């Protein structure tokens, strides 16, 4: 019985993935936020809206709807590392695709810097 429990534990742990990535100390700069905004408008606004408020043209066809990055509760419950992981890997069971094949790691961090600045300490102007 103990052996089976040990095997089950090992199998469960082998399926665990590290959900948090190391956040680069210099990822949040004015230049990164500006470039992140450009990337966001080019790649993400179709779903998330040009204001990053979840009101993009494709919103009505998406379930669940896209995230509203201007909502302070989103930022308070989502770390930059978690946002990076979602952008890179997508969200299974949602329309959010993985952007890993399209965006480099530095580009992904730029998008993260932009999103986490919305409504915060370094608010970006509306498009």
Interatomic CA distance for residues 34 and 32, integer angstroms: 5
Dihedral-angle region of residue 3 (phi above 0 means left; psi in -120 to 50 means alpha; beta otherwise)? alpha
75 pLDDT band, cuts 50/70/90, is: confident
20 pLDDT band, cuts 50/70/90, is: confident
Interatomic CA distance for residues 27 and 50, integer angstroms: 22
Q: pTM surpassing 0.95? A: no
For the chain, domain boundaries: 27-117
The CATH superfamily assigned to 27-117 is: Cytochrome c-like domain (1.10.760.10)
pLDDT at position 56, please?
97
């Amino acid at each position: 019985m103990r052996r089976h429990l040990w095997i089950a534990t090992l199998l469960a742990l082998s399926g665990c993935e590290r959900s948090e990535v190391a956040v680069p100390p210099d990822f949040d700069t004015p230049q990164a936020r500006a470039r992140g905004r450009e990337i966001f408008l080019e790649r993400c606004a179709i779903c998330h809206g040009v204001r990053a408020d979840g009101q993009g043209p494709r919103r009505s066809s998406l379930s669940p709807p896209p995230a509203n990055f201007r909502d302070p509760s989103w930022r308070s419950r989502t770390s930059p590392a978690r946002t990076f992981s979602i952008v890179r890997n997508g969200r299974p069971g949602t329309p959010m695709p993985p952007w890993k094949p399209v965006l480099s790691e530095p580009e992904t961090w730029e998008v993260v810097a932009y999103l986490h600045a919305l409504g915060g300490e370094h608010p970006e102007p509306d498009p």
